[in-house]
A and B are shown apart, each in its own frame.
Chain A
Amino acid sequence: AQKITQTQPGMFVQEKEAVTLDCTYDTSDQSYGLFWYKQPSSGEMIFLIYQGSYDEQNATEGRYSLNFQKARKSANLVISASQLGDSAMYFCAMKSNAGGTSYGKLTFGQGTILTVHP
């Protein structure tokens, strides 16, 4: 079974500062993918960044980077230069490619509410 754990129910950061949102995962699969999504109050889930289990380098997308530590099974999201619009719920999710199923069955964590203060 797969499990995603986000231990921070809520986080606060000052505008323009960096913040790290924690995510640990548990899987026995060798091949898997890790995703981060942002959910503003409007409800839409916005894809932010992806890290494959065999990727040797940490993924980066603009102000978002993923601190991937495979041995520790962690995939923390780092947001640099926080903006007021970054205030939202953030979800870590995992997809396993085991069993021959390539469709995107994602397992989600409980989420972290990020609040950016001016």
Chain B
Amino acid sequence: ETGVTQTPRHLVMGMTNKKSLKCEQHLGHNAMYWYKQSAKKPLELMFVYSLEERVENNSVPSRFSPECPNSSHLFLHLHTLQPEDSALYLCASSQDSLGNSPLHFGNGTRLTVT
């Protein structure tokens, strides 16, 4: 496989459930990101990991918990979510040290909170 792979593609969960989103990149990049895309809103940066260290948390509620065990894998653990958390969650990676390096995105996980 090449590029950035996200699983699952679709997820429906109740407000009391606990689930995890998974992201894997096969590009040798050393920075990974979680973005949230809600309807009629620009993409919102949630978390940034550089060399497996979290370097940015964009005031994200604690019900979202990221984990980066190595430079190729990124998780987003979800618990006690709210209906307004329903959105497309996009994972991305980039070559950290290059200022002009684009982000490479996965296909996203479409999350519905019921």
Contacts and interface: CB of A to CB of B under 8 A. Distances in A.
A45 B104 CA distance: 8
Given A43-B108, A44-B107, A103 B50 contact: yes
Given A102-B97, A108-B42, A42 B107 contact: yes
Contacts of A103: 31, 48, 50, 55, 94, 96
Interface residues of A, number: 28
Contacts, number: 68
A22 B79 CA distance: 39
Interface residues of B, number: 29
B42 A111 contact: yes
A50 B50 CA distance: 22
A112 to B, nearest CB: 12
A41 to B, nearest CB: 11
Interface in A13-35: 31, 33, 35
